[in-house]
Structure 1
């Protein structure tokens, strides 16, 4: 487990899934890790894809073999022993238990009834009694090991059998899922769902009162090979679309084009290009020529947009000319040209993935939480022996050892005391 944790830490430190040139430049001979670990080691050990590398998978296999060996050689025999009706045939052997006491005048049958009323399974054989409860606590460690194995199987399947991909699609266009997804590991196998076509019907955004983008949405339609619509859904951040084992997430956005009218002609779609800014703000720009395209000194009107709410326009000299909101149909005249901004066309940034190991991992973690809680249940055992009129009682537990004596004292206090018949008859004669 330490080796698996160490490899996972290395996989977090070293970037995963980058192009070879990235590792050659960052981990070159001039800047090795720990003085010797360069890109050659990363490629040789497969640490650029740690979680599907032979080293990591081999370590997981060893851990799985260790868990199975522990289950078969330790946990299962313990459960088998715990399930046996283990009677102790002498008071001496009972007094050797972790807890022991003697009831001077009591019946072992009365003790058995008290134990049954407190949730114990009770067995009598002649003068001997055996009782237990909390057997689930003995089975729980086996469940913990099986849950860990499920998690490792699911994680390995995720690392070696998944597909991932991302795409930016302008509103109104479409793509085929199989053209976007790429295999992650050697077990990655495409399904029929890869032939599904995704159409971006609409992309739009919500804004805070300050004007900042708060959420972005994509109306998606899925079509099969025959062009039949399969499903529709509006996705947003943290609300993906799921179909045929494929999940489509809303992860990003951009602006792709401005649709404008020029002197009542058009509409024209002007492609928007992202512009570099000093901060983290987005800025997109486009250019509308106003002179003959064959001119060597081409001039035009510049348009800038940060989002889909407003467009800033500049004249041929680069001076501010005004601001227009898309869909307002309000014209603006710049250098003798009348312009109407009809629409800002957005592009949706989508991330697609298939992960066949997710259900197995979720099931493993669910079982791990349940069996871990169950494993804290105490498995308690009680033995008793009828020695004449006395009952010798002993017991032990695997957990809550500090509370067990108090629980035993509480149970034994409930056992009724037997009355001596000869003493009772004598008191009746004296009284008469």
Structure 2
């Protein structure tokens, strides 16, 4: 790419209007990704976004899937928007902010009184002293350069650096988003107590994501704490991370808002279920039957199983449970309620003694890996620092001593009133000192 073409591309990317347009489109896409459920099944979108009537008259499940609105943050067009916006920020930084900083670092003395008339604030002080002006400015935090009859002072250079820091922070945040979209993944697992699992049920994964298979997780125990009213207070999972040889390398108990992290992967407590029921029939060993969640049409969560009470399976009972507090409801094949049974208790049904040993819970885990998160955190920390830096005023003051007159003038890029008050106070102090010196003389 030759120099003229490169400059035109740089000017186009650095155009503020383009940056605002890109930011607006990214914001709209992000809102869509927040409002529209991400990563759901095809049947979910067909049910919630039918073709007739389509949402807003056009947004059906076919349009939604065609545009990738079911996984907005991983679509090529969304990542392209992030890249373009990042390129716009970089172009603006090097074409506008860096030159502005370089210009601010350059300075020169004012050598003619007429130069002070171009400043927003200037005055003359009869019998004023350039040395006293330098002292007063130094006391206010200015850095001062001075010759015999000329002075230049400035402070707040960090305010010129602030916009560059803000741009750098936004670029870091964009890089974090791109890295997470390309290499991150999310999985969901529903594991009974005592079981060990590898990551298998991947819900979302970037094209460069690497799913770890050299370690596994064992659910040592899952349990739920209930309130006195019988409602769920909190549910817990005691997890162990095992290496390829099955040795424990990390262990922790997780609950909602308290995950376990290992190898860049975070395991969250997300859900629970009843996996199985363990029982005895007469004097048999402990037996186990799986339990399945029943369709209650949104009227609560119930799990059930069928237990044969005769070897030929000609008779049996239905066992229903609603939680892990240890109570099971028993129903006849005709749906008649027979009795309830708690953990450790026994009852006789159809000539068989049934003893309830325990209800086995399953922990629902959401497992995420997002390598871009450190860049996000660094970017937001840098953004806050850059915003604070940007509020610092960059102020400049010039002075010129000519015969019995001291010319003083200055300008600032923000907080104009405060700067004027500061410079007026200095001028009054110098005028007062000159009058005092004249009277003494």
Same fold (TM over 0.5): yes
Determine if contact 2:399/2:407 at 8 Å carries over to the other structure: yes
For the Cα contact (< 8 Å) 2:127–2:404, is it kept in 1?
yes
Judged with a 3 Å threshold, the aligned counterparts in structure 2 of structure 1 residues 417 and 320 are, in CA distance, closer, same or farther, namely same
Give the Cα separation in 2 of the matches to 1:359 and 1:43: 31
Matched, 1:153 2:175: yes
Q: Please point out which of 174, 193, 198 is paired with 1:171.
A: 193
What secondary structure does 1:59 align onto? helix
Q: Report what 2:209 is aligned to.
A: 188
Aligned to 1:214: 233
Change (3 A) 1:231 1:278: same
**Residue in 2 that maps onto 1:384:** 399
Question: How has the CA–CA distance of structure 1 residues 39 and 202 changed in structure 2, closer, same or farther, with 3 Å as cutoff?
Answer: closer
Q: Is the 8 A contact 1:315 1:335 kept in 2?
A: no
Residue 163 of structure 1 deviates from its aligned partner by 1.4
Instruction: Give CA deviations for 1:277-326 in whole Å, capped at 9, x if unaligned.
Output: 2444211122322224253xx3x233221111132333546544443332
Aligned partner of 1:337 in structure 2 is 352
Provide the TM-score with structure 2 as the length reference: 0.87
Q: 2:74 and 2:263 mapped to 1: Cα distance?
A: 24
1:394 corresponding residue in structure 2: 409
Paired residues, number: 417
8 Å Cα contact 2:185/2:370 also seen in 1? yes
Match of 2:125 in 1: 103
Alignment partners' CA distance in 2, 1:278 and 1:412: 81
Shift, 1:73, TM fit: 1.2
Evaluate the alpha carbon distance shift between residue 273 and residue 411 of structure 1 in structure 2; reply closer, same or farther with a 3 A threshold: same
Q: Where does residue 365 of structure 2 map in the other structure?
A: 350
Between 1:94-103 and 1:309-318, the stretch displaced more is: 309-318
Tell me, yes or no, if the aligned pair for 1:315 and 1:334 is still in contact at 8 Å: no
Compared CA separation, residues 37 and 170, structure 1 to 2 (3 A): closer
Aligned partner (choices 43, 46, 58) of residue 68 of structure 2: 46
Superposition deviation, residue 63 in structure 1: 1.4
1:196 touches 1:224 (CA, 8 Å); kept in 2? yes
Question: CA shift at 1:338, angstroms?
Answer: 2.3
Aligned pairs (5 A) from 1:137-152: 137-152=159-174
Post-superposition Cα deviations, 1:16-59, rounded to whole Å, max 9, x if no partner, equal: 33445655676565444554565555455433332222222222
Q: 1:311 aligns with which of 308, 318, 327?
A: 327
Match among 217, 221, 224 for residue 202 of structure 1: 221
Q: 1:143 to 1:232 in 2, by over 3 A?
A: same
Aligned to 1:12: 34
Query: Is 1:57–1:156's contact at 8 Å kept on the other side of the alignment?
Result: yes
1:78 has 2:100 as partner: yes
How far 1:264 sits from its partner (Å)?
2.7
Are residues 19 and 320 of structure 1, via their aligned partners in 2, closer, same or farther at CA, if it must alter by over 3 Å?
closer
Q: Determine if contact 1:260/1:339 at 8 Å carries over to the other structure.
A: yes
Aligned-residue offset at 1:362: 1.2
Q: Is the 8 A contact 1:105 1:417 kept in 2?
A: no
Of 324, 328, 332, which aligns to 2:341?
A: 324
Change (3 A) 1:110 1:71: same
Query: Would the alpha carbon gap of residues 280 and 376 (structure 1) be closer, same or farther in structure 2, given more than 3 Å must change?
Result: farther
Q: How does 1:247-262 map to 2 (within 5 A)?
A: 247-262=266-281
| Alpha-carbon distance between aligned partners in 2 of 1:280 and 1:346, rounded to the nearest angstrom | 21
**Bigger shift: 98-107 or 3-12?**
3-12
User: What's the Cα RMSD here?
Assistant: 2.4
- Preserved contact between residue 188 and residue 203 of structure 2 (Cα < 8 Å): no
What TM-score, normalized by structure 1, do the two folds share?
0.89
Are the counterparts in 1 of residues 172 and 379 from structure 2 also a CA contact under 8 Å?
yes
Shift of the 201–58 alpha-carbon distance from structure 1 to 2, 3 Å rule, reads same
CA drift of 1:423 comes to: 7.0
Provide the residue aligned with 1:67 in structure 2: 89
What's the counterpart of residue 18 of structure 2?
none
Q: CA deviation at 1:74?
A: 1.0
Of stretches 226-235 and 333-342 in structure 1, the one that deviates more from structure 2 is: 333-342
Query: 1:428 maps to what in 2?
Result: none
Give runs of aligned pairs for residues 14-29 of structure 1, distance below 5 A. 14-20=36-42, 23=45
| 1:237-286 superposed Cα distances (whole Å, 9 cap, x missing partner) | 11111111111111000101111122232211122121222444211122
Question: Given that residues 315 and 321 in structure 1 are in contact (C-alpha distance below 8 angstroms), is that contact kept between their aligned partners in structure 2?
Answer: yes
5+ residue gaps, structure 1, are 426-432
Q: What do the CA deviations read for 1:143-178 (whole angstroms, capped 9, x no partner)?
A: 11111111111111111211111010111111113x
Distance change >3 Å, CA 194–CA 101, structure 1 → 2 = farther
Query: How far, CA to CA, are the matches of 1:132 and 1:124 in structure 2?
Result: 12
